[in-house]
Amino acid sequence: MNARSLLADAEARLAEAGVASPRVDAELLLSHVTGVPRSLLLVAARPNDLQHRSYTEMVEARARRVPLQHLTGSAAFRFVDLEVGPGVFVPRPETEVLAGWAIDQAQGFVAQSFNRQWEPRVVDLCTGSGAIALAIVHEVPGARVHAVELDEPAYGWAQRNLSGTGVDLRLGDAADAFADLDGHVDVVVSNPPYIPLDAWESVAPEVRDHDPELALWSGEDGLDAMRMIEATAWRLVKPGGVVGVEHADVQGESAPEVFGRRWADVRDHADLADRPRFVTARKAH
Ligand SMILES: C[S@@+](CC[C@H](N)C(=O)[O-])C[C@H]1O[C@@H](n2cnc3c(N)ncnc32)[C@H](O)[C@@H]1O
């Protein structure tokens, strides 16, 4: 069977299973199996029998709503690729905007410093696969990046992704992490768990059945972790430092309220789909 027919069958199977982007997923899986870039599949992919069988198995797994990234083993995030699989949250495109904000802030501290020699200190709380921390070391040369993760399996993935990067990765609870850095951090960034416990029904099967529970749920209103991050950031950030935290699209008012009591410049930001997505604030001098 040629690539065109294989893709057409796979697209139909994935659409029938309710996969949100059946054509894209069919192409990415075929590209993964054959090693042919996605844009060249129709002209260059000639799957042999083994590749054909392996592709059929992967399409069936995707139709059972196994996340695409668990099948390919990697997730793209800004300019880096993360190894992912069972036991770790798959980084999402919306978090790339938050990471971009943290990168801009860190670069801003460098630009404002004497001789532009400042090595900004950045902390990624709830790092999961290490996505935000890895993007920051990649895009901000000289940044001193620290990251913490509570869940041991996720921490194992972060170790793999951050090995050799110089990121100070620790296993532990963000609530009491990095006491040694209190008052010395320029930027705190976090994509914590934030789904309200009663939102179970509305969550896609890929997320509900494959992302770790500790990565998803966060108390009745989904803001338990947000309140914990606010307290940790207040302890870590130096006067003039900043914090940015991702939240659910329904928390565009309730998340900024968590920061309203003692932070300056509290602002909410939209993601690429223009939905409320993360809150930022500054600790006044
Ligand atoms: C939504 S996932 C985000 C992971 C990563 N930051 C990303 O954007 O892909 C949240 C992560 O926070 C971790 N986590 C939850 N509670 C934590 C805590 N108290 N301290 C540290 N990590 C925690 C979870 O295990 C999970 O890996």
Answer whether 95 contacts ligand 1 (Cβ < 6 A). yes
pLDDT at 1: 78
Q: What are phi and psi for residue 104, nearest 5 degrees? A: -60, -40
pLDDT at 273: 93
> From the CA of 266, how far away is ligand 1's center (Å)?
23
Answer whether 173 contacts ligand 1 (Cβ < 6 A). yes
Q: Choose the residue to mutate in 70, 80, 89, 206 for probing ligand 1, maximizing ligand atoms within 8 Å of C-beta.
A: 89
Sign of the four-CA dihedral 113, 133, 125, 216: positive
> From the CA of 96, how far away is ligand 1's center (Å)?
15
Q: Buried b / exposed e across 25-59, counting CB within 10 Å, b at 16+?
A: bbbbbbbbbbebeeeebeeebebeeebeebbbebb
> From the CA of 217, how far away is ligand 1's center (Å)?
10
Answer whether 128 contacts ligand 1 (Cβ < 6 A). yes
Q: Buried b / exposed e across 160-185, counting CB within 10 Å, b at 16+?
A: ebbeebebbbbeeebeebbeebeeeb
Answer whether 148 contacts ligand 1 (Cβ < 6 A). yes
Phi-psi region of 168 (alpha: psi -120 to 50; beta: other; left: phi over 0): beta
> CA distances (Å), 171 to each of 41, 81, 126, 128, 154, in order?
42, 22, 10, 11, 10
Q: How big is the CA angle at 88 (ends 216 and 38), to the nearest 5 degrees?
A: 110
> From the CA of 149, how far away is ligand 1's center (Å)?
6
pTM: 0.95
Q: List the one residue out of 281, 226, 214, 215 whose CA is nearest residue 250.
A: 226
The secondary structure element, H or E, covering residue 262 is none
> From the CA of 161, how far away is ligand 1's center (Å)?
15
Q: Which residues contact 151 (CB under 8 A, 6 or more apart)?
A: 87, 212, 214, 215
Mean pLDDT, consecutive 10-residue stretches, the chain (285 aa), reads 93 97 97 96 93 96 96 97 97 97 97 90 98 98 97 98 98 98 98 90 88 92 97 98 97 97 98 96 96
Q: Choose the residue to mutate in 149, 170, 176 for probing ligand 1, maximizing ligand atoms within 8 Å of C-beta.
A: 149
